[in-house]
Amino acid sequence: MSGTVKRALKIVIPMIVALIIGVIPAPEGLTQPAMIYAGIFVCVVAWLVLRAVPDWAAFLACLTAYVVFGLAKFGDVFSSFADGTIWVLFGAFGISTVIAKTGLVKRLAFWVLRLFPETYRGQMTAFYATGLVVSPFIPALIGKGVILSPIAAAASKALGYERSSKQATGMFLAVWVTAGILGFAFMTGAAPVLITIGMLPADQQANWTWTSWFIACAIWFVVVAVLSYIAILFISGANKPQSKPVASTGEKGFAAKQLEELGPMSNAEKTTVVLLAVAVIGWIFGSKVGLSAAIVSVGIFAIMAVIGLADTKDVTERMPWDTLILIGGILSLASLLTKLGISTWLATVMEPIAAPIVANPYVYVFAVCILTYLVRLVVVSSTATQVIFLAALGGVAAAAGINPFVTLFVCGASANVWHLRFTNNVFIPILRATGHDMCEHEDTLSFDIAFMVINLIACLVSVPLWQSLGLA
C-alpha cells in the first residue's frame, strides 16, 4: 500500500466514524448537536493521533465543521482568535524573533560561559544557567533549543569532548532541560502553556496571569530544575572528584574568543534589552494596573516594529501562524465542550470508574502522570494527549474538586518525554540542530527515565500548593 493511500485512509476513516457518531440517536443527557460535536471531536483527535494532517489543519477543519453543521455561528466560532491568549503568544513570538535576530541570546550564552571555569561541570552549569535565563522570554521551544544547542555543540567540540561521550551528552541535556522542559512554568516560556490555558473553562481563563501561572508551577519548576541538574551530573559522571579541566582552547578560552568575534553590543541589542526588561515588568506587575499580558506583549512588539527592530518578514515568515491557529481551534473546542453539556455528561459516565482515583488528589496526579507516559508511546501529539485526558477525566475530576488546571498541567508536563524517536516533536529538532555532533537519541534515554521519575515527584509535591490555591 502506497504512502498516499495510507494517508488518505487516515483522513477518510475518521471522517466516516464522525458521520456515524453524528447520526446515532443521542443517549439520555445529550442532544443531537452534542453527538455531532462528539463525532467531529473524535475525528480531530484521530487525525492528531495518526498524524494524518498537521495539528493546525485539524483544528481549522474542526472550526469549519462547527459552522457547517450548525453548532455555532461563524462569528462565535472564530471569535476565539480575538481572545487575549492568542495575542499574548503573538506578541511574545514577535519579541522572541527580535531577540534571536539581534544575536542577543548568543551574546548572553557566551557571556555566561565566560563566567564559569572551563571544566565540564563549569560549562554544563553555564548552559543550564543560560537556558534558565532565556526560557521565560521565548515561547518557541524549538526556537530556544535551536539557538542554544549549536552553541553547546561548538563549545563541546572546542573543549575536546567526543561525540556521544557522557560530557557532550550532558551539555546537550543542559540545553534541553532548560529550553525544552522548564519553559512550561512560564506563560511566555512555552506555547503549550497558552494551549493549556485555552483548554480551561472560559470563566477560568481570565484568572490566569503571568504571575499566577508561575506561582502555581513554582514547586514543580524548582524540583525539576534542581533534580534534573543533579541527574545530569550523575549520568555524565561529573559528580566524581576526577572532574578535571578540559583541553585548553587558547589564552582567552572559547567563550571569550566568541565574544571578541561578536564585537561590542549593537544599538539594536541594547534597545532590545531595555524593551525586554519593560515587557518582563509588564508581564509580572501589569495586572495590578489594569494591563493584561496580551496588551504588554503586543505593545512591546509594536514598539519594536515602529523603531525598526522588527520588519515585515518577522510577521509573514517567522511568526508561527500554525501555532496561533491551533490555539484558536482549541479555545473554540473547549468552549463548545461545555456549552453542549458534554463535559457534564462525560463526568456522569466516568464517575463510577474514576471516583476512586479522583477521591485523592495524590492518587489522581500519580495516575495522570503514569497514564500520560503510557499514552505517549502511541500518541505523538502532546496536544492530542491533553485533549484526550481533559475529555475523559476533566469533568469527573472537577466534580471532585480538582480544577481542570491540575489535569492539563500534569498531563502537559508529563507528555514531554522522548522514550521513542518519534514521541517528542520538540526534542528531535533540537537534537538535530547540533548537527549530531554531540549525541544521539539513544545516548539520552537514561535521562528520559530519570526525568519521568523527577516529573512525577515534582507533580506530587506540588499538590499541597495546588490545594492552598484552591486547585485541588
Assess if residue 361 is contained within a domain. Answer: no
Cell of 79: 471569535
With 60 as the cut, is the pLDDT of residue 246 above it? no
Q: Residue 444: what pLDDT?
A: 93
Sequence letter at residue 147? I
Considering the domain architecture, whether residues 102 and 214 belong to the same structural domain is answered as: yes
Considering the domain architecture, whether residues 61 and 113 belong to the same structural domain is answered as: no
The better pLDDT of the pair 425, 220 is held by 220
Which positions ≥6 away from 375 have C-beta within 8 Å?
385, 388, 389
State the Cα–Cα distance between residues 334 and 343, nearest whole angstrom.
9
Q: How far is CA 322 from CA 54, 169, 245, 326, 329, in A?
A: 9, 31, 45, 6, 11
Residue pair 145/429 in contact by the 8 Å Cβ criterion = yes
pLDDT band at 99 (very low <50, low <70, confident <90, very high): confident
Please report which residue ranges of 51-165 form alpha helices under DSSP H.
55-68, 74-77, 84-102, 104-115, 120-134, 141-158
Considering the domain architecture, whether residues 170 and 242 belong to the same structural domain is answered as: yes
Q: Residue 203: what pLDDT?
A: 79
Strand partners, 119: 245
Sequence letter at residue 84? G
DSSP string of 374-437? Answer: HHTTT---HHHHHHHHIIIIIHHHHHTT--HHHHHHHHHHHT---SSTTS-TTHHHHHHTTTTS
DSSP string of 88-108? Answer: HHHHHHHHHHHHHHHTHHHHH
Least confident of 83-97, 212-226, 453-467: 83-97
pLDDT band at 250 (very low <50, low <70, confident <90, very high): very low
Q: Residue 248: what pLDDT?
A: 45
Segment 298-328, tens digit of pLDDT: 999 999 999 999 988 888 887 888 878 877 7
Q: Residue 360: what pLDDT?
A: 92
Query: At 179, is the secondary structure helix, strand, or coil?
Result: helix
Measure the CA angle with vertex 170, ends 164 and 174; round to 5°: 135
User: Count of CB atoms within 10 A of residue 214's CB?
Assistant: 17
Which of 342, 411, 351 has its CA nearest to residue 381?
411
Stretch 415-435: mean pLDDT, rounded? 84
Stretch 42-61: mean pLDDT, rounded? 85
Assess if residue 210 is contained within a domain. Answer: yes
Q: Residue 197: what pLDDT?
A: 86
Segment 203-212, tens digit of pLDDT: 788 788 889 9
| Percent of the chain with pLDDT strictly greater than 70 | 96
Considering the domain architecture, whether residues 115 and 50 belong to the same structural domain is answered as: no
Q: Residue 16: what pLDDT?
A: 93
Assess if residue 280 is contained within a domain. Answer: yes
Assess if residue 373 is contained within a domain. Answer: no
State the Cα–Cα distance between residues 371 and 407, nearest whole angstrom.
12
Q: Residue 1: what pLDDT?
A: 65
State the Cα–Cα distance between residues 344 and 387, nearest whole angstrom.
16
With 90 as the cut, is the pLDDT of residue 393 above it? no
With 50 as the cut, is the pLDDT of residue 56 above it? yes
Assess if residue 90 is contained within a domain. Answer: yes
Q: Residue 185: what pLDDT?
A: 94
Assess if residue 465 is contained within a domain. Answer: no
Considering the domain architecture, whether residues 223 and 129 belong to the same structural domain is answered as: yes
Measure the CA angle with vertex 340, ends 334 and 345; round to 5°: 95
With 60 as the cut, is the pLDDT of residue 329 above it? yes
Considering the domain architecture, whether residues 247 and 312 belong to the same structural domain is answered as: yes
Handedness of CA 431, 436, 440, 446 (dihedral sign): negative
Considering the domain architecture, whether residues 56 and 109 belong to the same structural domain is answered as: no
pLDDT band at 238 (very low <50, low <70, confident <90, very high): low
Considering the domain architecture, whether residues 158 and 54 belong to the same structural domain is answered as: no
Q: Residue 207: what pLDDT?
A: 84
Segment 17-30, tens digit of pLDDT: 999 999 999 888 88
Range of the structural domain that residue 260 is part of: 84-316
User: Count of CB atoms within 10 A of residue 200's CB?
Assistant: 22
Assess if residue 432 is contained within a domain. Answer: no
Segment 127-180, tens digit of pLDDT: 999 999 888 888 888 888 888 888 888 888 888 888 889 999 999 999 999 988
Q: How far is CA 117 from the centre of its chain?
A: 32
With 70 as the cut, is the pLDDT of residue 43 above it? yes
Q: Residue 97: what pLDDT?
A: 86
Segment 281-301, tens digit of pLDDT: 988 888 788 888 889 999 999
With 60 as the cut, is the pLDDT of residue 105 above it? yes
In the chain, how many domains are there? 2
Considering the domain architecture, whether residues 113 and 15 belong to the same structural domain is answered as: no
Q: Residue 212: what pLDDT?
A: 93
Using left for φ > 0, alpha for ψ between -120 and 50, and beta otherwise, residue 246 falls in: beta
Considering the domain architecture, whether residues 236 and 263 belong to the same structural domain is answered as: yes
State the Cα–Cα distance between residues 99 and 273, nearest whole angstrom.
9
* Total-model pTM: 0.82
The better pLDDT of the pair 337, 369 is held by 369
Residue pair 46/17 in contact by the 8 Å Cβ criterion = yes
